[in-house]
Structure 1
């Protein structure tokens, strides 16, 4: 593995989500305080598990790029571009987005990376995905591609 990143929410998403506990407690307080506490904690635990397990993982291996559940062989990757500011990332995910592009974007990450797809049989022109470290992800892809046997 050359590069690995889990694109999970920041700690603030988890902290603000903790508001579930008192909200459920208030609703169930007239009925049963203990049930309110147990349900509030259980719902918050489910919230945390859902957020963490639903966070995509970016992996650059010796022969493939994997983002979430999607995978592409490195030989079909072209140029990569790091969008290391919020403005660049928003522009790529908004007005400049090609509707045919494959995307894996998360609202809690303000930066992204774009990698061109050079397979003539693939209708997808590029992948656009959220990453907290776009420069490192693009550098890792370039490094992995340089190690391929067919690379100059």
Structure 2
């Protein structure tokens, strides 16, 4: 028997991985460096750099790709969550005043001339677009979150759709 479907919008999840072409490039560069380091060494000493650099490169690329964005709906209300491996940053949707989808130039502006040093910034340089989440919490000195995403419009709409009624009326 299939589980009952709900009419609620499904949760949004996005993993901010490195571009696909970094994998072959990284492995090729690691193999080339290992070959240069082990050049002319007899036996296992010639293969040791390869055994070290290839797993190190794969591990580094996986570490760069560990960032995950999630829109969850726990029992105490929906929240936006950013996961960095084992660390998590939670933002209850009740603290959000406005959500703005940014293109590359808007992201650059918020990182440059319009930057606020108190902002919570989670960016990946290989992703050009982002979302600005303006907060409405007088107890928190953080004015906004700036978060990289490959789908800024979808993330902004998903967050806006789940904002509390007071914030939705203020839009």
TM-score (norm 1): 0.86
Q: Return structure 1 stretches of 4+ with deviation > 3 angstroms.
A: none
Ranges in structure 1 where 5+ consecutive residues have no aligned partner:
none
Q: How far apart, in 1, do the equivalents of 2:58 and 2:108 lie?
A: 31
Question: How far apart are 1:42 and its partner, in Å?
Answer: 2.2
Partner of 2:7: none
Q: How does 1:50-129 map to 2 (within 5 A)?
A: 50-53=63-66, 56-62=67-73, 63-68=78-83, 69-84=88-103, 86-129=104-147
Q: How many residues align?
A: 148
**How far apart are residue 151 of structure 1 and its match?**
7.0
User: Which residue among 26, 37, 40 is the counterpart of 1:27?
Assistant: 37
Aligned-residue offset at 1:2:
1.8
Contact 2:119 2:145 in 1 (8 A): yes
After alignment, is 5-14 or 107-116 more displaced?
Answer: 5-14
Alignment gaps of 5+ in structure 2: 1-9
Q: Deviations over 1:34-78 (max 9, x none)?
A: 32332232222322332233xx11111221111232111110111
Q: Of the two structures, which has the highest relative contact order with CA contacts closer than 8 Å and spacing of 6 or more? A: 1
How far apart, CA to CA, are the structure 2 residues paired with 1:151 and 1:133?
A: 21
Residues in 2 aligned to 1:13 and 1:78: alpha-carbon distance in whole angstroms: 37
In the TM superposition, what are the counterparts of 1:33-52 in structure 2 within 5 Å?
Answer: 33-52=46-65
Counterpart of 1:145 in 2: which secondary structure? coil
- The yes-or-no answer on 1:9 pairing with 2:18 is yes
Q: Which has the larger radius of gyration?
A: 2
Normalising by structure 2, we get a TM-score of 0.77
Task: Report the more deviating stretch, 29-38 or 118-127.
Answer: 29-38
The alignment partner of 2:108 has SS state of helix
Q: CA RMSD in A?
A: 2.2
